[in-house]
Amino acid sequence: MNSLSAPEQALASGHWVKLICGASNQDLVAIEDLSGLYSLAGVHCIDAAVDGAVVEAVRRGMAWAAERGAGRPWLMLSLSDGVDPHFRKAWFDPQACPSSCPRPCERVCPALAIGAAATGSAGVLAARCYGCGRCVPACPLGLIEERSQVLAAEAVPALLAELRPDAVELHSQPGRLAAFASRVSQLAASGVPLRRVAVSMGPEGSATRVDALATELWQRFVVLREAGYRPLWQLDGRPMSGDLGVGVTHAALHLLEGLQPLAPPGPLQLAGGTNAHTLAGLQRCGLAHRGSGAGAAGVAFGGEARRRLQPWLHAAQQRGSRLLDLDDLWTEALESARALVGPWLKDR
């Protein structure tokens, strides 16, 4: 009998699919809807921000799917080991606001993160803001800016202990090995038994050459092994570009093809530029199955996963409801989610 969990089996057999949902610029209702529908479509993992409100939304979506027979995906929480465009929050100086302003920023905030009642100062309450970005264009005076967020080292162990993820993803960049190692020690201090620690890196910055990127990954492999964590390598071909078409798929495949002979042990998963063309591209390159000796253990979908459900998310919003409560809509949306995920789940 195979004692591996379904997500581990999927990694071992090249069938792994992860949903990236709620790292930033997404609202809580959409996070819940996407989590529910993609859980029911069969994803093995949902990757979200280290934020209590986001995690609650993901878990409500997973629970909805479980009621309909879905397995429970891993909850993976994403952190950065330094400044990273994926992690940001809104900020403005309330002293600069005219007293006559009708405060549209407050009205559009889905997290109730703006306003004197929430914050005591009429600015943004950082603990509630999850970086959806809605308030930025709402201000007629352009006073709201988005600021990068790097979680304080001392906050990480308690947050993880509270949110209890199954796995963590560390976004890193070349040259930040010491910061990466520091984050890993914070994971250990949380006491949370993590199934995997994913490392998200791409060829941006100084490590544009594949061999330089491989060296950076090997350094992180040593850190993870010493801490007793099992790695998962997320190759970010072109971050947040998966809805752009076949061109970005080639970039992601090219990165995998170059890196996989040089990479440290552990599953290689594609992200950034992944979309409905990715699997066919892998099959053409002979890189579709890590279990056969080489290739991708799986894929992560972010922008493409959301883009294809957008019409139904929008229709539900127009009706003032979450999509998961509208049977006539979610059944259609599920078909679209399955069309993206399903080919990865089949034996090939």
Interface residues with ligand SF4 (CB under 6 A) are 89-90, 92, 97, 101, 103-105, 108-109, 111, 113-114, 124, 129-135, 139, 141, 143-144
Residue with smaller CB distance to ligand SF4, 71 or 91 = 91
Closest contact distance (angstroms) between CB of 146 and ligand SF4 is 7
Closest contact distance (angstroms) between CB of 51 and ligand SF4 is 10
Tokens representing 179? 């910061």
Phi then psi dihedrals of residue 193, to 5 deg: -75, 95
Return the closest-CA partner of residue 87 out of 49, 54, 60, 113.
49
Residue in the block written with tokens 């080292």:
153
Residue with smaller CB distance to ligand SF4, 31 or 270 = 31
How many angstroms separate the first and last alpha carbons of the chain? 22
Return the closest-CA partner of residue 156 out of 136, 185, 176.
185
Whether residue 144 contacts residue 92, with contact meaning beta carbons closer than 8 Å, is answered with yes
Closest contact distance (angstroms) between CB of 126 and ligand SF4 is 9
Sign of CA dihedral 226, 229, 232, 238: negative
Closest contact distance (angstroms) between CB of 99 and ligand SF4 is 9
Residue with smaller CB distance to ligand SF4, 112 or 227 = 112
Residue with smaller CB distance to ligand SF4, 85 or 286 = 85
Residue with smaller CB distance to ligand SF4, 224 or 240 = 240
Closest contact distance (angstroms) between CB of 44 and ligand SF4 is 28
DSSP letter assigned to residue 106: H
Whether residue 297 contacts residue 326, with contact meaning beta carbons closer than 8 Å, is answered with no
Residue with smaller CB distance to ligand SF4, 5 or 317 = 317
Closest contact distance (angstroms) between CB of 94 and ligand SF4 is 7
Distance of alpha carbon 148 from alpha carbon 114, whole angstroms: 18
